[in-house]
Amino acid sequence: MQELLKRFENKKPEIIFEWSDSESEAEGWVVINSLRGGAAGGGTRMRKGLDKREVESLAKTMEVKFTVSGPAIGGAKSGINFDPNDPRKEEVLKRWYKAVTPLLKNYYGTGGDLNVDEIHEVIPITESYGIWHPQEGIVNGHFHATEPEKIRKIGQLRQGVSKVLEDPKYTPNGPKKYTVADMITGYGVAEAVRHYYEIWGGNIKGKRAVIQGWGNVGSAAACFLAVEGVKIVGIIDKNGGLINPEGYTLDEVRELFVNRKGNQLVADNLMSFEEINEKIWDLESEIFIPAAASRLITKDQSDRMIKAGLEVISCGANVPFADPEIFFGPIAAWTDGQVAVIPDFIANCGMARVFAYLMSEQAEVTDEAIFSDVSQTIGNALRKTYQENPEKTKLVESSFKIALAQLV
């Protein structure tokens, strides 16, 4: 596996598109790792300090993810080095998408990612440049769709991704309406845990979970875990956190979800980041959901959680361990050898799978059909991993082996 991984990591990307904004200090890259199957896909992220290497590693991560989510295409990513809180953000995004329009028309499909919103930014801006949908490049490049097929597939994408959820099973109650895009990744991360206990044995009900990050992914995963009877005992966010050894009730978790300010946790009794960061890693819990930024989890934190009874990590963030390697460094490998780690390309493939499903022939645009398909896709991937390795450790290594056999 390590040999295959090295070969995959060291292979140069097929296309790198580099951009310098004419009216600001923003710079950006589209990295297309390969045009496997005639197209490539991956979202657009923006953060200050982002560099080309980060975009390259994320494009490779997407390629691995497509072996699980489908379609059988190459991995790509867009990254813009710019402060997302700058008031010039929208103008920068408009100039960026104008520059990458030829790629989006022909062979590259994108979506939202860190600090870039699918529904409110990507779709309206790309539409203004005559792109039917941000996934149009995949419909053209991979499916070679005829005009009627293209109209149908893009119609399904338009309707499905921004669909307002009506089924109470998939949305927290409250005055705000949520879309498929808001909830699906966190749902998949929680379903990965449910499938893990179903396949490897054990009962999810009554388990305790710690959540890192309270954006769309972490907060939605917490809601769906709470529905399964999991007790959320700790939440750590960049601005502070909460601990409740008894576990928050489903209603309390939903309230924390609804009360978020953007991606921030809001509560009356919030502990400071320093205080929560000192205590949370020793909290007794069986489930850990890293759903903040990439490369945060240290070996010390992993070690402390394992000593406190950790059983399974479901990776909501891409590459959550603080290793410099693209995929699988020493911290990830050590943790993988101690507990069950469900890799990011399985656990957080929800949105990629929604795109693939909505482009397929059998797509039904209902809450139940979209969410069930994501759950089934994650369950199938984990069953393949179990066939390869029924032990409760080295899940990442075994899952990579299956994925890389398709790519290298």
pLDDT tens column, 198-214: 999 999 999 999 999 99
Looking at residue 173, its pLDDT comes to: 75
**Mean pLDDT, rounded, for 131-149:** 96
Query: Which range among 1-10, 90-99, 150-159, 204-213 shows the weakest confidence by mean pLDDT?
Result: 1-10
Backbone CA torsion sign across 44, 49, 54, 55 = positive
Which CATH number describes the domain made up of 12-162? 3.40.50.10860
Predicted pLDDT of residue 207: 98
- Output the pTM of the full model: 0.94
As a whole number, mean pLDDT of residues 267-271 equals 95
Confidence bin at 397 (pLDDT 50/70/90) = very high
Closest listed residue to residue 356, CA positions, set 343, 370, 342: 370
The per-residue pLDDT for 340 is: 98
The DSSP string of 130-195 is T-S-TTHHHHHHTT---HHHHHHHHHHHHHHHTPBP--GGGS--SSS--BHHHHHHHHHHHHHHHH
Instruction: Determine the Cα–Cα distance for residues 273 and 255; give it in Å rounded to an integer.
Output: 21
Q: Write the burial class of residue 302 (CB in 10 Å: 0-12 exposed, 13-18 middle, 19+ buried).
A: buried
Alpha-carbon 81 to chain mean position: 20
DSSP 25-57: S-EEEEEE---GGG-EE--EEEETT--HHHHHH
Q: In the CATH scheme, what architecture does the domain 180-406 have?
A: 3-Layer(aba) Sandwich (3.40)
Which tokens hold the place of 304? 């402390």
Name the average pLDDT for the chain. Answer: 96
**CATH 3.40.50.10860-classified regions of the chain:** 12-162
Average the pLDDT over 163-184 and give the result.
Answer: 90
pLDDT at res. 263 = 85
Q: Which residue in the block uniquely carries the two structure tokens 């975009």?
A: 55
| pLDDT tens digits for range 346-394 | 999 999 999 999 999 989 999 999 999 999 999 999 999 999 999 999 9
pLDDT band at 4 (very low <50, low <70, confident <90, very high): confident
247 φ/ψ sector (left φ>0, alpha ψ -120 to 50, else beta): left
What pLDDT score does 325 carry? 87
- Does the pLDDT of residue 7 top 80, yes or no? yes
Question: Start-end ranges of CATH 3.40.50.720 in the chain?
Answer: 180-406
Predicted confidence at residue 349, as pLDDT, reads: 96
**Is the distance from CB of 81 to CB of 148 less than 8 angstroms?**
no
pLDDT band (50, 70, 90) for residue 176: confident
Peptide bond into 71 cis (omega under 30): yes
- Give the least confident one: 38-42, 104-108, 118-122, 385-389: 118-122
Going by the DSSP 8-state scheme, the letter that residue 280 receives in this structure is G
Residue 395 pLDDT: 98
In which band, very low, low, confident or very high, does the pLDDT at 174 lie, cut at 50, 70 and 90? confident
